[in-house]
Each structure stands twice: as structure tokens, then as C-alpha cells.
Structure 1
Amino acid sequence: MDKQTIPEMDEGGFDPGIMETAGYSATAIKFCNEQPNRGVLSDADQVSEVAGPCGDSITVYLRIREGKVDRAKALVSGCPGAVASAMAAMELVKGKTLTEALAIEEKDIVRMLEYLPDEKQDCIQLSAKALHKAVEEYVVAGPSFKKRE
């Protein structure tokens, strides 16, 4: 199903029944609707944005302390697959060294979500790309990176 077939609910979430019918796992639905890692970090050391070919976009906020990702948040504009994938990627990266963060692969996101419909694999790729871009830009810019306003 494409993102137009899963309408947003009035309270800002996606309909879990429709998502389940579309093939999302219960874990993916939970990540999508609860969005535990959604938001902006005002004290982020790195802010990076990636847009996918389908129109979805992910902005990643990372706070790095002592060489590890201390906090990670994301803002996502897109379908349920993009939201769930980004939330899972942010969960995976917490507590990781920068090297470990770069080693997070698409399969790790899939494993955390348990299952996304096959046509949502691009969402997983976008989330991994957004995470890697943020870490790589931090490594290049270093701790003196000036946060975007």
C-alpha cells in the first residue's frame, strides 16, 4: 500500500487497524503511533536532514557525550513506514559509539520493527541513511559544530 491508503487519524496517529491489514507488525505500529523518539533536541550536537525520492523526509538530532550518542530524536514527514523506521533507528543508536552507530544497518532496523510491508523497504533505507549522514557530518564537523537555529 502507498502512504495515501493509510489515512492519519484526527489525533495525529495512523489507524492501527489499517496498518495491521497493510502488513505492519504490532511493534512497527507501536513505534509509529507512540513515536518515542520524536522531537527536537535543543542541545543537539548534530542536526541533519535527508529527503527520500518518495517525498518523505527525516531530520535527525543527536547529542554526543564522551564519544557516544547520548540522546537521539527525529522529526519525520512521511508515511507510517518512515515514521516507524526513524523511531526505531533513533532507539538503536542510543548509547552507541560513533563507530557502532555507523555500523547500524537496515537489517537492524527491520529486526527491531519485526516487520514492515515489502513496499516500505525504502523507508528503512531512508532511516539508515539519515542516521549515517548525521553521524558522518558530526565526525567531519567535530564537537564545535554550530547547531542550526
Structure 2
Amino acid sequence: MTQIQSAVPDNTQGVREMLRASGYSEKAIDYYINKPHMGQVSDADISSEMTGSCGDTMGITIKMENGLVSDAKYQVMGCAGAVSAAMAVVDLIKGKDLDYARSINDGAVFKVLQEIPVKKHHCIQLAVKTLHKAIDLQQMKQSA
């Protein structure tokens, strides 16, 4: 990916109001504004990238220690729904094993986000599919 969405808007109150009016929960808005897991993990053990049907692109990098996810980050070129979904996925998988991470589904992410517009539910799917692709690629590597 050539561009990372990482700048925190100067006028966060205006952004918050706009996102609230669009149907985003405060939790989803906080993820979008703060982007706590945006970037790349150096020396990642697992990674993948996907582009969704809307054109949003995500890449995930994961670092493992003692069989658990010690760190994970997403790079996201996309909308508030894509950013917030990716950030929620990381919160769900940190400190967990890959079997648990592979069991994460759209509903679990939606539960963390609490609310995003219906037209943005595909962003949750993209974040989950990017995670699953990374885990599947890692498992194929290990079994080869």
C-alpha cells in the first residue's frame, strides 16, 4: 500500500458530529479518530492484504509470542467504517491464540463497534476477511 490513513483531524469535534449523524457509535468514532492500531508491526510473523468491493484496502501484520498475538496493526486506505472495524479486530485478537482469532466473525466486531451505518457493514467483513486470510496463509505455510 502506498498511503496510510493516520492523520488525526484538527477539528475532531466536527468530525465526531458528522460521524454521529451518519450512524456511528462513540466507540467506532473513537477508533476512527485515535487509530490506536494503525500502521505495521515490525518483524511481523503473519501478514495479508485485501481490497474490498468498495475499493477500500487493508493490510494486517501480526506478531506472535508464545503462541499468542502479542501485537497487530492494520494499514487502511478507506473510510471511517473500514478504519474503525480494523481497529476493533485488533482489540479482539490481542493476547489470544490463532484459533480464537480465526473464530472472530462479523458479529463479534459489530458488537465491539456497537453501531455503524448499515451501508458500512461490508467494512467489518473486509477487516475480518483480511484477518482470516492472514491466518489461513500462516497455517498453509506451517503445514507445507
Instruction: Evaluate the alpha carbon distance shift between residue 86 and residue 12 of structure 1 in structure 2; reply closer, same or farther with a 3 A threshold.
Output: farther
Counterpart of 2:75 in structure 1 is 75
Counterpart of 1:31 in structure 2 is 31
Does the residue aligned with 1:15 lie in a helix, a strand or coil? helix
Alpha-carbon contact 1:50-1:59 (below 8 Å) kept: yes
**1:69-91 alpha-carbon deviations (Å, 9 max, x no partner):** 11110010001000000000011
Counterpart of 1:51 in structure 2 is 51
Counterpart of 1:107 in structure 2 is 107
Q: Distance in 1 between matches of 2:56 and 2:41?
A: 21
- Identical amino acids, percent of aligned pairs: 36
Shift of 1:140: 1.5
Q: Distance in 2 between matches of 1:140 and 1:70?
A: 21
Q: Distance in 2 between matches of 1:41 and 1:11?
A: 26
Counterpart of 1:118 in structure 2 is 118
Shift of 1:9: 7.5
Q: TM-score scaled by structure 2?
A: 0.88
Alpha-carbon contact 1:9-1:15 (below 8 Å) kept: no
Q: Distance in 2 between matches of 1:96 and 1:47?
A: 16
Shift of 1:64: 1.2
Does the residue aligned with 2:116 lie in a helix, a strand or coil? coil
Going by fraction, where is helix more abundant, 1 or 2?
Answer: 2
Q: Distance in 2 between matches of 1:125 and 1:31?
A: 17
Does the residue aligned with 1:38 lie in a helix, a strand or coil? coil
Alpha-carbon contact 1:39-1:73 (below 8 Å) kept: yes
Structure 1, 24-33 or 38-47: larger mean CA deviation:
38-47
Segments of 4+ moved more than 4 angstroms = 8-14
**1:85-107 alpha-carbon deviations (Å, 9 max, x no partner):** 00000111111111111001111
Q: Distance in 2 between matches of 1:104 and 1:10?
A: 30
Alpha-carbon contact 1:58-1:130 (below 8 Å) kept: yes
Unaligned runs of 5+ in 2: 1-6
Q: TM-score scaled by structure 1?
A: 0.85
